[in-house]
Structure 1
Amino acid sequence: MPPDSADAHSIGVHLDRLLEARGLTLTELADRVGVTVVNLSVLKNGRAKAIRFSTLTALCRELGCQPGDLLSYLPDGLD
């Protein structure tokens, strides 16, 4: 069943935690993965509607993490 709103989703993004744990800034990560700071900011703030597997791969490579460390399912949109 599709969500009630085109903007609604139940995926949490934990990019801020990973950046802090690794002592990186969003700008540094953007440079390393070849994505704009604006696009990473949209992802970090949970406003992204999609993420390419190539971007997810690059993020996991640079952050030394698994996709599940970066993203999680939040039932009922709870954070």
Structure 2
Amino acid sequence: MIIVRLDRVLADRKMPLGKLADEIGVSIVNLSNLKTGKVKAVRFSTLDAICKALDCQPGDILEYAPDDPAE
């Protein structure tokens, strides 16, 4: 399972979701869906823009957690 940590990075940077949406040219609805993990995919261009705007690495936003804790 992939866990999206965008909310944590935004909080660390003290940046509201709307400001990030304006900065990278992605709708707030799409970013909100990404933030809540309701998306099945994310474009590399979007991930690139998010990382540039938040000065972070993709691994700061996305985290892998096995479905089975024994894995």
Q: TM-score, normalised by structure 1?
A: 0.83
Given the superposition, is the C-alpha separation of residues 71 and 77 from structure 1 closer, same or farther in structure 2, using an over 3 Å criterion?
farther
User: Which consecutive residues of structure 1, in runs of 5 or more, have no partner in the other structure?
Assistant: 1-9
Identity %: 57
Structure 1 residue 40 corresponds to structure 2 residue 28: no
How do 1:34-73 and structure 2 match up within 5 A? 34-73=25-64
Q: 1:14, 1:44 within 8 Å by CA — same for their partners in 2?
A: yes
User: Which consecutive residues of structure 2, in runs of 5 or more, have no partner in the other structure?
Assistant: none
* Runs of 4+ with >3 A deviation: none
Given the superposition, is the C-alpha separation of residues 24 and 77 from structure 1 closer, same or farther in structure 2, using an over 3 Å criterion?
farther
Q: TM-score, normalised by structure 2?
A: 0.92
Please, what is the CA RMSD of the aligned residues? Answer: 1.3
